[in-house]
Amino acid sequence: MSSRMELLRARVLEEAKKKADSLLKESRITASNLKHDATEIMNLTEINLMNKIKASLEEEFLDNKGVLEKEKVRKLLQFKQDTLDDVINTAISKFKKKLNDNPDFYYKTYLPGSIEAGIQNTVLKEYFLSVNKKDHKYIQDHLEYLKKFKKKIILTDEPFPDDDLGCIIHDKQSNVMFDNRLSKKIEMKIQYLKTRISQVLFKGA
């Protein structure tokens, strides 16, 4: 009886062992699968995350590239604009220097031409002349200077407050005037100069 019980017991233990081994094997497979699945999920998540980061960086780079390109163009245009202003200012300075360094040309050609233009462009009973301090003194020292013009011209008591060249022709109350100062001529010509010079400086900008 006991031998039969021992045999039965051995079979139950063997079956239990087989079942346990089977469950253990299955659990190992399941664990392995889970680990594999988890790894895949992590890999996919990492890949997706990296792709998103890459896309974000590329977008940011492109945005920055666009900003950099815009900044480059802006700086180039600003440089050209500054160069254009420098060119014009240099030309004006050289012209002023030429007039100041050559009083013979200025008082015999430039200033008389400026006064004559004022006379021709205004119709007044009396012509009053305003000039800068230097020219004011020159005309006062050379009273015959204004006698060569066809119209009677009266030199005003007050010269320009600055050293602008040229003149202003006006009536006594300054209600009507022809402003023929160099600064005004430049204002009128500046856009023309900028247009002409811009064609060279801004070509292909």
The per-residue pLDDT for 36 is 47
Higher-confidence residue of 194 and 107: namely 107
- Is a pLDDT exceeding 60 seen at residue 13? no
The β-bridge partners of 170 are: 128, 177
Distance of CA 32 to the CA centre of its chain: 64
Q: Which helix (H) or strand (E) holds 111?
A: helix 111-120
Note the pLDDT tens digit of each residue in 165-184: 999 999 988 889 999 998 88
Domain 102-201, CATH among 3.30.110.30, 3.10.300.10, 3.30.2320.30, 3.40.1440.10: 3.30.2320.30
Whose tokens are 């060279």? That residue is 200
Whose tokens are 């031409």? That residue is 113
Note the pLDDT tens digit of each residue in 29-51: 544 544 444 444 444 444 555 55
- Is a pLDDT exceeding 80 seen at residue 116? yes
* Long-range contacts of the stretch 150-158 (C-beta < 8 A, 24+): 150/119, 151/119, 151/127, 152/126, 152/127, 153/115, 153/119, 153/127, 153/128, 153/129, 154/126, 154/127, 154/128, 154/129, 155/128, 155/129, 155/131, 156/128, 156/129, 156/130, 158/130
Q: What residue spans define the domains of the chain?
A: 1-72, 102-201
Q: Is pTM beyond 0.75 here? A: no
